[in-house]
Structure 1
Amino acid sequence: MIERVGRDRTHDAPGRHATGDDAPAGPPKTAPQRERRVAAGLEELDRWLRDQVTEGLAHHHRAPFSVWDDVARRLVDAQAGAPASRVRELGALPADGRPERLLEEYALLRLLVTAFRRRDELPEPLRATVRSRVGFTVSQEEVLAGDTVRDHWYVAGSRDVEQDRLVTRRVWLRGQDTGRSALVLSFAAPGRALDASLTVGDTLDAELAFHPGALPLRALVAARHAGSVRRPPRGTTVAGLLREYADALARDPWLERWPAVLADARPARDAVGGPCLVDADGAALPLRAADVWRLWAVSGGRPLTVSGEWSPRGLVPLSAWQADEGTVIL
């Protein structure tokens, strides 16, 4: 199933939206030229952000989409594709709570502009993260030339998202020995086949090469080995997940989603009737899913382990399993 998210944030492939009508007319011929072009585009973005905050955000729900689209197009021309996508998505924010969301997003964009401006002062891992968030890419050859991490990687979940004439498949892995998470991406035009070599519920003995950054998460499968089949990984509590997420945000403030594996969780309803997951300690996380009844059916009233994507807007469940049963894709 492919989820069409409109302008939901999916910046897993920085700069990939610079296609079609958005493609810059004359790309710079050298890396230094592109650096200068991106820097100039971000400085223009900084001035626009200042103007937005100065004018106030209370009436932005009545502003036309062109307010954001014009800025995004100028960023695409400057070859800063990732922040261009982020700006364009702001025009589709729901009216409810919009000023607060806009201020949050503007602050993150301003932080990115400031970080890129001071990139030469940053430690190398953080500098790599900033460049990635701006839209600079790293080739597969460069990634595969780095160190690898071998583990028994459990395929905990997969999600397909369609946006801007491109389908992105996010596959989440969890190392059973290291406890490390990894994200493997593949892309295809609508109607074209995506990489299906990683099946949810399988475990592969493999070496992964991680993209550089302060929080190495995105990875490539560098080599596979004929290893023994392992059981799914153990999950954590709600408190444990939030500690993981806080530590991840400290290393990458622009992080949009975090892989979650929650153990002994039961689907329930919160005080206002919204769906949530409650762990053995009684702590709860809101669920963000179009269909929560499948999770209720898999649980059958018993606790289970749930894998999904966590963000402050809620947990998107991707798969679940119990000790005596196999993995179910949600």
Structure 2
Amino acid sequence: TPDPISLNSLIHDMVEAGCEYAFMEVSSHAIHQNRIAGLEFKVAVFSNITHDHLDYHKTFKEYITAKKKFFDDLESNAYALVNLDDKNAGIMIQNTVARTRTYALKSMADFKAKVIENHFDGMLMDVDGIQFYSLLSGDFNAYNILAVYSTAKLLGFSATEILEKLSSLSGAEGRFQIIRSEKKKAFAVVDYAHTPDALLNVLKTINGLRTRNEKLICVVGAGGDRDKSKRPEMAEIASRLSDMLILTSDNPRTEDPEEILKDMMMGVDPAKKSKTLVISNRMEAIKTAVNFAQLGDIVLVAGKGHEKYQEINGVKHPFDDKKILEELFELD
């Protein structure tokens, strides 16, 4: 979220270009630093809140308070739309004067959906009693689809119009993006998951879709100069939910990559250490995972997703997980 002057300038340019709707992510940093001051939101959406940004907010309570302020400051003619399946949804709207609406997969809510069939290349969903097929996969994407559907309904669009558009929507770059190897009949998943909750979601999604006759190899690291407490937690999740784990560098920034990896190894169960490798060079880590992959195996490369660089000691070096995987699969 840019500063208030840049943000208003961008929105002005959108209006001049004939844009009628602007959708934006509002970060907790932006709320705390008043970067959205002066903006009036028609709909504010709360999806979930997890262990993140504690290097800035220091405590989870302060993180929640920053997010809550967004809803506290809404006008009475706005909508506060919250995911009722998240335990903190009630906290977000307890002091808002906006009109509150809810969405959920598991709870009774104003907007309801369920996943009927889930596959690696898409899923069949029921949204408010209407079945439709999405090109996206996993419960986390089902929540995102329902949030978009609910928002569009509040803005006055019809259910059939919304679902028709959503049915042709493909995934964002670096978010559960699949790269296939025709030679190995295996594939890789590139995902931006860089928090414990995000990593848990993507691994649970893969495990829910796979046959269990194949190996799941996970390549993951943790960023430097950020919240250190999530490092062992992420390693614990990855080691528990994959058949083989390769810990590597993410964006070490000004930290020693080896020290970051030591922090991560603290979370690996001793019983899982025999199936865990530590390779600080990310390129070598990905290459090792691909070499280990056999017929039908799945390689998850997590943490960087769409990013086209690796930040080391203040320098952003060209690095693209997806491109590297495509090149390695081509060589096999």
More strand by share: 1
Into which bin does the TM-score normalised by the smaller protein fall? under 0.3
Higher helix share: 2
TM-score by length of structure 1 reads 0.25
